[in-house]
């Protein structure tokens, strides 16, 4: 989908799977094949099976045939993911891409050296002396060479980014051919480093072509790419041409073409398998670094008993042993990863943050610690929120994959007139065009879908507007009963929309506390779960998918975001934005109306803090207190909060209506108002300790993203906002909560 300009407001055609879906499917497949190969050569073939059938040899042969696929495809996908970072500054990109990978390589090399010493007979490279360890740290990469190579490859790609891609790919292709032909000295795994540089560079420089190849994949292409790959393997094997100059890289190219095609087909047509592989593909790092010691331990425990096994069970085991052990190694590796995170050992999987002191624009010294946002330390989570409940970026990516085709992939809009006024490029995600009229549909669809899959027959929600409508629509899609609790003075249009979606409407008082109490009573009486409007991990992940799509669209258009601005009510949307932007240089800001700034006060206090909301035309941004779970996410990830008043919101509303012909509700227009203030340094901004003031936007930002969260607005309010006659409208019932 391209970025629309001016009046292009039609929603894009929903897609079955985005770029990240097929790429993560490919990564998940690769890590399975890597573990399977190590199981076969380091465990399975080391056992004396004493059987009269050539099954062990067949497993070994299969593993060898997949060698041209595994790491070349892995590095191609890695290059695709690194393509945007290559164009960023060294200061921004070097720490996560170079220092981060080298740090992980060093840490896990020490772990492997210590643990593998406990299994001296296990056939894998490991240092047995200080000199050997030093060599593995520098010039002779160990079995963790993938991390070593990623750091080196990124430096090469970044340093030579202005060299013509044809020259880079040609030279690196020759290097691959020379190494594969055995013409270079390649101690340790240096041969793999030489051979796979060309595939990483291909991912970086051929990304548009590769993503287009995946987007247009079909069964016919799958068949002929598989046939070409098999034919190339057959030629290489029959002619004993593995070390012929240029043969190995060519065979690997055919393998990568087949692998991308197969991954795209699985992502598009096999939802269950695709979801499993994509989820695994987003966790390849822990599997990669943990699996070798786990395999060594299993080999030590199982090799003897398995070799002594007799009877018919032996024949069955010899056929299925690699699959069983591979599954066990994957499961144990992921379990160990979760255990290490649970005890606070996140530093084993991410470069520790820099801690220092930063001066704000007024000269006040503020301490700042940039905590990792994908794996929040226990200290950053309120005691009332279990750390396992806090979602991460992988959950947002999984939500985006699952929601593809189930919700509208809304367009990204841009207006040159608004850009000129702001002094920066502003890209707006038009969630006012979403089903149900707001991005609330995303979180509701995900939460209801998961409950439907778990066997629930109904759901309960309380709302003053969009969330209730979204839950009702999602429940109808999944065949579940829905009960929506609304205030007694709910707007007629809102009641009609929820009822038209099939929901049972219950009226309860006029306050949030009354609605929550009633909703909980109904939930307990019916046995149907209550879906909170923002304090729910699936809701946060679903709302975050809108920000993730905006980030991806901006990158695809060659205008990557520097900042992302999201209106704040209960905090689900801004928390999802923080997760979507984690691991990137994008800085996330929340926007709150003056006097309705619970998140700003909560950040200052270090805990969720209630306020008495002031009247505002953006009634969807008037919850008494930000949710505990959104606060747990945003506390260490958000850059700051920008306050806007009703005049600024109305001005943004008019800009959207007149410049883009977009009808947004005031709560959605508040996002644009916040972006304009951030870029133009209008007045005072409320920020968390250690965050920059909004006025730095002009100096630091080129492209700012905004989520237009919804478009459900009453006709009377539209008429009066269009003429700026809204003073008495601040007390009207809103439609965005």
Residue 708 near residue 428 (C-beta atoms within 8 A): yes
Say if residue 407 is in the same domain as residue 474.
no
- Predicted confidence (pLDDT) per residue in 716-735, tens digit: 777 777 665 544 444 433 33
Say if residue 507 is in the same domain as residue 588.
no
Give the domain CATH number at 514. Answer: 3.40.50.1100
The mean pLDDT of the chain is: 82
Say if residue 517 is in the same domain as residue 551.
no
- Predicted confidence (pLDDT) per residue in 173-199, tens digit: 999 999 999 998 888 889 999 999 999
- Final residue before a domain boundary, out of 313, 348, 383: 348
Q: What is the mean pLDDT of residues 239-265?
A: 94
For residue 19, pLDDT over 50 is answered with no
- 525/46 Cα distance (integer angstroms): 60
Say if residue 76 is in the same domain as residue 159.
yes
Beta strands 365-369 and 355-359 are antiparallel
Say if residue 682 is in the same domain as residue 627.
yes
pTM attached to this predicted model = 0.54
Q: Report how far apart the first and last C-alpha atoms of the chain are (Å, whole number).
A: 29
- Predicted confidence (pLDDT) per residue in 618-673, tens digit: 877 877 888 889 998 998 889 989 999 988 898 898 888 888 888 888 888 899 99
DSSP 539-577: HHHHHHHHHHHHHHHHHHTT---SEEEEE-SSSHHHHHH
Question: Which of helix, strand or coil describes residue 663?
Answer: coil
- Predicted confidence (pLDDT) per residue in 673-725, tens digit: 999 988 875 333 434 433 334 444 434 688 999 999 887 776 777 777 766 55
Say if residue 25 is in the same domain as residue 158.
yes
Q: What angle do CA 470, 473, 476 make, to 5 degrees?
A: 145
For residue 385, pLDDT over 50 is answered with no
Q: Which of 338, 192, 336 is nearest to 252 (CA)?
A: 192
- 39 lies in some domain: yes
Looking at residue 366, its pLDDT comes to 25
Say if residue 543 is in the same domain as residue 654.
yes
Q: Quote the number of domains for the chain.
A: 3
Q: What is the mean pLDDT of residues 269-292?
A: 88
Residue 452 near residue 479 (C-beta atoms within 8 A): yes
Looking at residue 679, its pLDDT comes to 82
- 139 lies in some domain: yes
pLDDT grade for 491, boundaries at 50, 70 and 90: low
Beta strands 425-430 and 412-414 are antiparallel
Residue 575 near residue 544 (C-beta atoms within 8 A): yes
For residue 248, pLDDT over 90 is answered with yes
Say if residue 432 is in the same domain as residue 461.
no
- Predicted confidence (pLDDT) per residue in 543-553, tens digit: 999 999 999 98
- 68 lies in some domain: yes
Q: Residue 184, Cα to own-chain centre: how many angstroms?
A: 39
- 26 lies in some domain: yes
Say if residue 339 is in the same domain as residue 410.
no
For residue 368, pLDDT over 80 is answered with no
Q: What angle do CA 271, 284, 260 make, to 5 degrees?
A: 55
Looking at residue 737, its pLDDT comes to 43
Residue 353 near residue 370 (C-beta atoms within 8 A): yes
Say if residue 582 is in the same domain as residue 478.
no
- 98 lies in some domain: yes
Say if residue 207 is in the same domain as residue 97.
yes
Looking at residue 222, its pLDDT comes to 95
Q: Worst-scoring range by mean pLDDT, 114-118, 168-172, 231-235, 450-454? A: 450-454
Say if residue 575 is in the same domain as residue 670.
yes
Using the CB atoms, write b or e for 455-488: b if 16+ within 10 Å: ebebbbbbbbbbbbbbbbbbbbbbebbbbbbbbe
- Predicted confidence (pLDDT) per residue in 323-336, tens digit: 999 999 999 999 99
Percent of the residues in the chain that have a pLDDT greater than 70, as a whole number: 86
Question: Which of helix, strand or coil describes residue 117?
Answer: coil
Burial of residue 70, with CB atoms counted within 10 A of its CB: 0-12 exposed, 13-18 middle, 19 or more buried: buried
- Final residue before a domain boundary, out of 348, 378, 411: 348
- Counts of helices then strands in the chain (DSSP H, E): 29, 12
DSSP 139-158: TS--TTHHHHHHHHHHHHHH
Looking at residue 700, its pLDDT comes to 65
The β-bridge partners of 151 are none
Looking at residue 66, its pLDDT comes to 93
For residue 151, pLDDT over 90 is answered with yes
Looking at residue 729, its pLDDT comes to 46
The region, left, alpha or beta by phi > 0 then psi within -120 to 50, assigned to residue 613 is: beta
- 373 lies in some domain: no
- 575/588 Cα distance (integer angstroms): 9
- The residue whose two tokens read 């991005």 is 439
- 377 lies in some domain: no
Strand ranges across the sheet with 563-567: 4-5, 412-414, 425-430, 703-708, 563-567, 587-593, 640-644
Looking at residue 478, its pLDDT comes to 86
Burial of residue 431, with CB atoms counted within 10 A of its CB: 0-12 exposed, 13-18 middle, 19 or more buried: buried
Give the count of alpha carbons within 13 A of 62, CB side only.
17
Looking at residue 334, its pLDDT comes to 93
Instruction: Give the domain range for residue 705.
Output: 393-436+538-688+700-725
- Predicted confidence (pLDDT) per residue in 50-62, tens digit: 777 788 889 989 9
Helix axis angle, 165-180 relative to 190-205, nearest 10°? 160
Q: What is the mean pLDDT of residues 375-394?
A: 48
- Final residue before a domain boundary, out of 507, 528, 549: 528
Looking at residue 580, its pLDDT comes to 93
For residue 369, pLDDT over 70 is answered with no
- The residue whose two tokens read 């901006």 is 554
Q: What is the mean pLDDT of residues 252-265?
A: 95
Looking at residue 389, its pLDDT comes to 62
For residue 21, pLDDT over 90 is answered with no
For residue 377, pLDDT over 70 is answered with no
Q: What is the mean pLDDT of residues 324-353?
A: 89
For residue 270, pLDDT over 90 is answered with no
Q: What is the mean pLDDT of residues 410-428?
A: 91
Q: Which of 608, 601, 610 is nearest to 632 (CA)?
A: 608
For residue 391, pLDDT over 50 is answered with yes
Looking at residue 255, its pLDDT comes to 96
Looking at residue 362, its pLDDT comes to 27
- 376 lies in some domain: no
Q: Residue 172, Cα to own-chain centre: how many angstroms?
A: 31
Q: What is the mean pLDDT of residues 505-530?
A: 86
């Amino acid at each position: 989908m391209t970025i629309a300009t001016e009046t292009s407001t039609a929603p894009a055609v929903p897609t079955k799977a985005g770029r990240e879906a097929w790429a993560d499917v490919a990564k998940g497949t690769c890590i399975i094949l890597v573990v399977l190969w190590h199981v076969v050569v380091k465990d399975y073939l080391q056992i004396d099976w004493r059987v009269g059938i050539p099954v062990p040899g067949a497993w070994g042969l299969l593993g060898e045939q997949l060698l041209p696929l595994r790491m070349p495809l892995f590095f191609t996908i890695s290059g695709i993911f690194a393509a945007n970072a290559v164009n960023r500054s060294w200061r921004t990109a070097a720490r996560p891409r170079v220092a981060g990978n080298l740090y992980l390589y060093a840490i896990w090399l020490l772990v492997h050296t210590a643990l593998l010493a406990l299994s001296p007979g296990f056939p894998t490279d490991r240092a047995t002396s200080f000199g050997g360890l030093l060599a593995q740290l520098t010039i002779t990469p160990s079995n963790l060479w993938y991390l070593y190579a990623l750091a080196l490859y990124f430096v090469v790609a970044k340093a030579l980014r202005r060299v013509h891609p044809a020259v880079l790919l040609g030279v690196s292709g020759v290097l691959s051919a020379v190494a594969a032909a055995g013409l270079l000295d390649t101690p340790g795994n240096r041969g793999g480093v030489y051979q796979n540089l060309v595939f990483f560079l291909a991912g970086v420089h051929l990304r548009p072509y590769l993503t287009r190849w995946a987007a247009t994949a079909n069964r016919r292409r799958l068949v002929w790419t598989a046939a070409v790959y098999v034919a190339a393997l057959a030629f290489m094997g029959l002619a004993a041409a593995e070390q012929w100059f240029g043969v190995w890289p060519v065979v690997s190219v055919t393998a990568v073409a087949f692998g991308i095609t197969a991954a795209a087909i699985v992502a598009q047509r096999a939802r269950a398998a695709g979801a499993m592989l994509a989820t695994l593909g987003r966790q390849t790092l822990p599997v990669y670094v943990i699996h070798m010691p786990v395999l060594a331990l299993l080999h030590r425990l199982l090799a003897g008993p398995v070799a002594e096994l007799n009877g018919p069970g032996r024949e069955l085991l010899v056929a299925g042993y690699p699959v069983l052990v591979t599954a066990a190694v994957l499961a144990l590796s992921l379990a160990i990863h979760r255990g290490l995170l649970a005890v606070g050992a996140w530093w084993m999987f991410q470069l520790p943050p820099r801690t220092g002191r930063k001066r704000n624009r007024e000269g006040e010294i503020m301490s700042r610690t940039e905590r990792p946002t994908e794996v929040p330390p226990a200290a950053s989570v309120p005691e009332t929120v279990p750390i396992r409940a806090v979602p991460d970026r992988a959950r947002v990516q999984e939500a985006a994959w699952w929601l593809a085709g189930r919700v509208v992939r809304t367009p990204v809009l841009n207006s040159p007139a608004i850009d000129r006024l702001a002094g920066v490029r502003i890209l707006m995600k038009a969630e006012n065009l979403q089903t149900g009229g707001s991005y609330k549909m995303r979180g509701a669809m995900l939460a209801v879908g998961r409950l439907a899959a778990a066997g629930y027959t109904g759901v309960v929600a309380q709302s003053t507007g969009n969330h209730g409508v979204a839950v009702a629509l999602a429940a109808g899609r999944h065949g579940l009963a829905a009960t929506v609790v609304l205030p007694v003075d709910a707007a007629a249009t809102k009641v009609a929309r929820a009822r038209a979606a099939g929901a049972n409407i219950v009226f309860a008082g006029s306050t949030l506390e009354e609605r929550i109490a009633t909703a909980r009573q109904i939930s307990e009486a019916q046995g149907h779960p209550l879906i909170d409007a923002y304090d729910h991990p699936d809701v946060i992940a679903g709302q975050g998918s809108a920000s993730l799509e905006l980030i991806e669209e901006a990158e695809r258009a060659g205008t990557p975001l520097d900042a992302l601005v999201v209106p704040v009510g209960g905090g689900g949307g801004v928390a999802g934005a923080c997760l979507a932007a984690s691991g990137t240089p994008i800085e996330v800001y929340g926007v709150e109306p003056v006097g309705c700034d619970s998140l700003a006060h909560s950040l200052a206090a270090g805990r969720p803090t209630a306020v008495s909301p002031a009247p505002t035309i953006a009634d969807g941004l008037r919850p008494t207190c930000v949710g505990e779970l959104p606060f747990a996410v945003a506390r260490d990830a958000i850059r700051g909060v920008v306050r806007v008043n009703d005049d600024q919101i109305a001005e943004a509303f008019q800009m959207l209506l007149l410049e883009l012909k977009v009808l947004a509700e005031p709560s959605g227009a508040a996002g644009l108002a916040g972006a304009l203030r951030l870029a133009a340094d209008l007045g005072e901004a409320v920020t968390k300790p250690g965050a920059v003031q909004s006025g730095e936007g002009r100096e630091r930002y080129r492209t700012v993203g905004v989520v237009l969260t919804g478009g459900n607005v009453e006709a009377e309010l539209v008429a009066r906002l269009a003429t700026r006659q809204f003073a008495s409208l601040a007390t009207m019932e809103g439609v965005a909560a």
